[in-house]
Amino acid sequence: MITKIRNVIENNSEFIILPHKSPDGDTIGSSVALERLLKNMNKKGYIVLNDEIPLNLHFLNCKVYTLEEFEKINLNIETVITLDSSDISRFENRVKLLENKTVVNIDHHITNMNYGDINYVFEASSVGEILFNIFTNLNYEIDEKIAEGLYVAISTDTGSFKYTNTTTDTFFAASKLRDKIDFEKVNTELYQNISYEDVILSNTVFETLKIYNEKVGIIYLTNEMIDELNLEVINTDGLVEKVRNINEVEVAIFIKEINENLFKVSLRSKYDFDVAKLAFKYSGGGHKKAAGCAIEGSLEEIIELFVNEIK
């Protein structure tokens, strides 16, 4: 399979790189690393993403094109590489870029739908770890910029190496990358770089916290709450993990309103509860301890539904 990826990379000069919507450290760090690798090979990668880059990832200097901007360039690119996306719904309107293209799907979610022409899907800590292995096996040089992106991908998707998806292979990759980066700068940017607005949002959301059946912690954010806060940027990264950190909570849920009667549900768990299986039941996906889905209904109905499902 790696040979197929090498053939695609070496036989093409331009590539579309697609991270998933609502980007996190893994999908952005991996995209930056891949774009830099292609540049070092005198090739061109175009990262196409409609969303804003989270504040703590700005230091990666990720050059992105919205779909509208990319279409104006009017390039005839034959190859798309998707990163960290278990199904095509995670691209929203950018999904049109997959049409009549060779699609290389690189992912670490066990729920991946294998929508690519080449599907390189393994249950690893992160796509960053997978790319590290690909680059290493193909003897591609990993410079500081590539290492920075891959390290960010691995560190964020393992919760700074706290989650059980962290393996000895993960530590090996991280140790090799650590030697190539400014370790203090990267970790300061990643984990000590939240905005005042983020604190205000977090305080408001945690006022909704309620514990059900002594083990299920639920928080939510509605559009009405967002309007009242009058914030320019809404960053909800990490909120559901904070609920999981409460000592008696075994399953944490964050429910965010998308529009009327449609909500995004983020699920996290401790120990043995498989939230991926629950998310998949509602056309979502993810990992055993971190998953999500979108579901229709009222906020009250969705809370009741998931409390009963977990019970």
Q: What is the reported pLDDT for 178?
A: 97
Which amino acid belongs to residue 129? Answer: E
- Cβ-proximal residues to 309 (8 Å cutoff; 6+ apart), any chain: 278, 281
Angle (CA) 226 227 233, round 5°: 55
| CATH of the domain spanning 2-191 | 3.90.1640.10
Q: What is the reported pLDDT for 65?
A: 97
110 pLDDT tier (thresholds 50, 70, 90): confident
Question: Is the pLDDT assigned to residue 232 strictly greater than 80?
Answer: no
CA atoms within 13 A on the CB side of 256: 19
Q: What is the reported pLDDT for 45?
A: 98
User: What are the boundaries of each domain within the chain?
Assistant: 2-191, 196-310
Fold annotation for 196-310: Diaminopimelate Epimerase; Chain A, domain 1 (3.10.310)
Query: Which is more confidently placed, 234 or 242?
Result: 242
Question: Is the pLDDT assigned to residue 299 strictly greater than 90?
Answer: yes
271 pLDDT tier (thresholds 50, 70, 90): confident
311 pLDDT tier (thresholds 50, 70, 90): confident
- Cβ-proximal residues to 57 (8 Å cutoff; 6+ apart), any chain: 23, 25, 28, 29, 152, 189, 190
Question: Is the pLDDT assigned to residue 233 strictly greater than 80?
Answer: no
Structure token digits, residue 96: 């049109």
pTM of the shown model: 0.89
Structure token digits, residue 273: 């509860």
- Cβ-proximal residues to 307 (8 Å cutoff; 6+ apart), any chain: 212, 213, 216, 218
Distance CA 305, CA 267 (A): 13
Of 52-56, 134-138, 179-183, least confident by mean pLDDT is 52-56
Q: What is the mean pLDDT of residues 254-283?
A: 93
Structure token digits, residue 219: 């928080």
Average pLDDT, the chain: 95
Q: What is the mean pLDDT of residues 198-206?
A: 95
Distance CA 65, CA 84 (A): 18
Q: What is the mean pLDDT of residues 256-281?
A: 93
Per-residue pLDDT tens digits for 115-163: 999 999 999 999 999 999 999 999 999 999 999 999 999 999 999 999 8
